Structure 1
Amino acid sequence: MSTVYENDRIIFAPGDVDLRLSPLRGSLLEATFVLGAFNPGLTVLPSGNLLMMVRIAEALAHPIKENNVRALRWDEDLGYVTDEYPLESVDASDPRKFHFLEGPSKVMALTSLSWLLPVELSSGGERIERVHYDKVIQPQAGFQEYGIEDPRISRVDGTYYMTTCSVSAERHSTVLYTSIDGINYSMRGIILDHQNKDMVIFEGKSAGKFHALTRPMGELYFAYPSRSPHAPGPSINLASSPDALHWKPADKPFIRPRKLSASAVKVGGGTPPILTDRGWLMVYHGVEEGGTVGIYRTFWALLDPEDPSVLLEVHDDAPLLESRSELTSDIPNPYLTDVVFSTGIVELEHEYLIASGENDLACRLTRIPKSTFKPTK
């Protein structure tokens, strides 16, 4: 069981989103609702206030129409539109997506389309100061036609680097945005190609280079030897870059799923690694079987300050964070359980403030004492 922290709460939820100001209102006449406001990137603005970049999953209020299931999509010429598919041709048991039953490849579509909403907080994250609807980030290229997901923000040498996952029929890719003020972002394009998710850039350089955690995915994994402690599946890898645009994957594996553990299904990057007096503090997620999509928990590790490929400590026995159902019990229409997905971190005087998505529904802020990360060796 993870520790229950004194300051651990929901800061932003679907009911806090004003859909009258949604970018979809520019062309879509359909009624929609907020399926989730979650997985926020987190950073410190030049003013000292904090900025959460919140993923807003906006869904059709009536996804089934005349025996057809409908999906939202952004079109370069038409704006936001709906596509229809015969209901009998899909498996719609997951409220987040539906899978097509026939075809040579595994194909799915989403029941919502995600865009990003900047939410400014006070310097300690105690309250919301402003919601910047005039600064939303929405699809602007074909590789984003099904939305933009799961931002992570790192500040390196005075520039903000935000990685996002862009979704389309073209590819499932990592797209970079940069900013000099933390609020106004410019898209720099695709930096990792198909099915490489959860790319998280270190908040600072090592040996003069940018470094990042990556998590390539696939439908096929080869078996480890029977005596190996590792389980096949999505793992966290490392990559480096001279400019944050061109990335070289490391040759050696990094953190892999571990048999008979809470990370037996997959692991993936969480918050941007930050430099401490003991090394790079890396907060990540591990998944085990259970629930609708698996049980997601947050763990942590320390990496060598000079060479991030060297793991100093890995703490994956007791989770740093677990989902807390009581936090979202008063929010209508929860559809997942057992999912905490940490995506942002800032350092306070005596604590770290960690931002997470709680059950793909709302934004959770947790203050964790620095003493939690004390040496164990």
Structure 2
Amino acid sequence: MTHIFDAIVFGPADVDLSRSPLAGKLDAETYVLGAFNPGLTRLANGNLLLMVRVAEALRHPIVDQHVHSIRWDDDSYALDPWPLDFVDTTDPRAFAMRSAGWKVMALTSLSWLLPVELTADGREVVAVHYDKAIAPRAPYQCYGIEDARVSRVGDRYFMTACSVSPERQATSLYSSDNALDWHLEGLVLDHQNKDMLIFEGQVAGKYFAQTRPLGDLYFAYPPGSEWRAGPSINLASSPDALHWKPYDKPGIRPHSKTIATARMGGGAPPVLTDRGWLTLWHGVEPKGVVGVYRTYWSILDRDDPAQVVVTSDTPVLEPAPELTEPLKELMYLDNVVFTTGIADAGDHYVVASGEADLACRITHVGKQVFA
């Protein structure tokens, strides 16, 4: 598919770790594993803002036959050692504990959020706001803050992010008047609920959001059903954006006729169009270590978002190895495009994605694609 503009605009080499929240607080050398999966919004001055996930990893995680992870601990950071014979390091992003009785893992990096201001068209970086960076500040974020999504509803900005700790992998909420100075509201969705996207507008006087509950068990649909069991995109509503009730009707579900979207999750916050709510989401084809991630789109009914008006079976974005070719020495994953933001730009949308869990990709997508 030909796009008006499609490029990597920010990557690991663009992060100054001397200005990291971890700088001077950790007795070990670190590097940027990835600067990716950016939330996106438009500022009052017309420029675009990326909330970039910076995954900061240990340069030498293995010392004395132990692999180490980074943990926030009361305004400081600690290194936790694990014996090598106790862990499985197949996935470069994490290591799994052996013989735990159930799935237990630790991360090879700690993530924080970096505001990066772009020109109004998203093509160039204007400023990197290190003084506005968001780092862990609560026990439920001790293993990091991941994958921000930013929505503007009225005159307020809301940002959801995944907060990681031993007790839960949950969604935290931030609010702001200007998208630069953020107030942590706390947890809004509990254990194993990721990819929460707040609609950019209300439905029947309520806030709405897409969510993606995860688990190790899914019940089968009846034989011959058009749907495939597995992770799907659910809905929730709220009177205040703080207290959320799951919607009684299902949202977007994997279709039984294709394996390309066997697993799915929310991408960019839904935006209102003449046809209804436009939502970009990711579908994952099982393959290799993490699968192949592509971006698809649906239009949801403006008055009842559980009603899907239309869904595209053709991806609007696919992994683009030619974009990361200059970064190939830093690659540790491939076949992943993970869309996380959308902004209106007149006759097209500016779409923000993480490419290969490594860098930030900006794509201009003509509105006719969604017709």
Which TM class, normalised by the smaller chain length?
over 0.9
Within 5 Å, which residues of 2 pair with 1:204-353?
204-315=201-312, 317-331=313-327, 332-353=329-350
Query: Which portions of structure 1, spanning 4 or more consecutive aligned residues, are displaced by more than 4 angstroms?
Result: none
- Report the CA distance between 1:292 and its aligned residue: 2.1
CA contact (8 A) 1:240 1:250 kept: yes
Residue 13 of structure 2: SS of its match in structure 1? helix
- Report the CA distance between 1:330 and its aligned residue: 0.9
What is the CA deviation profile of residues 62-95 of structure 1, one whole-angstrom value per residue up to 9, with x for unaligned ones? 0111111111110116x11110000010100111
What is the CA deviation profile of residues 213-272 of structure 1, one whole-angstrom value per residue up to 9, with x for unaligned ones? 000000111122221122221110010000000001011211112224144431110001
2:101 aligned residue: 104
CA contact (8 A) 1:142 1:170 kept: no
The answer to whether 1:360 aligns with 2:348 is no
Unpaired runs of 5+ residues, structure 1, are: none
Distance change (3 Å), C-alpha of 1:360 and 1:139: same
CA contact (8 A) 1:304 1:310 kept: yes
Residue 18 of structure 2: SS of its match in structure 1? helix
Distance 1:355 1:179 in 2: 20
Distance 1:264 1:278 in 2: 24
User: TM-score, normalised to structure 2's length?
Assistant: 0.98
1:33 aligned residue: 31
Distance 2:140 2:250 in 1: 28
Distance 2:142 2:259 in 1: 34
- Report the CA distance between 1:33 and its aligned residue: 0.5
Distance change (3 Å), C-alpha of 1:212 and 1:63: same
- Report the CA distance between 1:28 and its aligned residue: 0.6
1:69 aligned residue: 67
Within 5 Å, which residues of 2 pair with 1:137-176?
137-176=134-173
Distance 1:296 1:234 in 2: 14
What is the CA deviation profile of residues 30-56 of structure 1, one whole-angstrom value per residue up to 9, with x for unaligned ones? 100100000000000011111000000
Distance 2:308 2:260 in 1: 17
Residue 15 of structure 1: SS of its match in structure 2? helix
Residue 323 of structure 2: SS of its match in structure 1? helix
The answer to whether 1:191 aligns with 2:188 is yes
CA contact (8 A) 1:72 1:81 kept: yes
The answer to whether 1:82 aligns with 2:79 is yes
- Report the CA distance between 1:128 and its aligned residue: 0.6
Distance 1:230 1:35 in 2: 37
Residue 25 of structure 1: SS of its match in structure 2? coil
Distance 2:22 2:106 in 1: 18
Greater CA drift, 66-75 or 248-257: 248-257
Distance 2:105 2:227 in 1: 29
Distance 1:38 1:58 in 2: 12
CA contact (8 A) 1:291 1:337 kept: no
Distance 2:367 2:249 in 1: 31
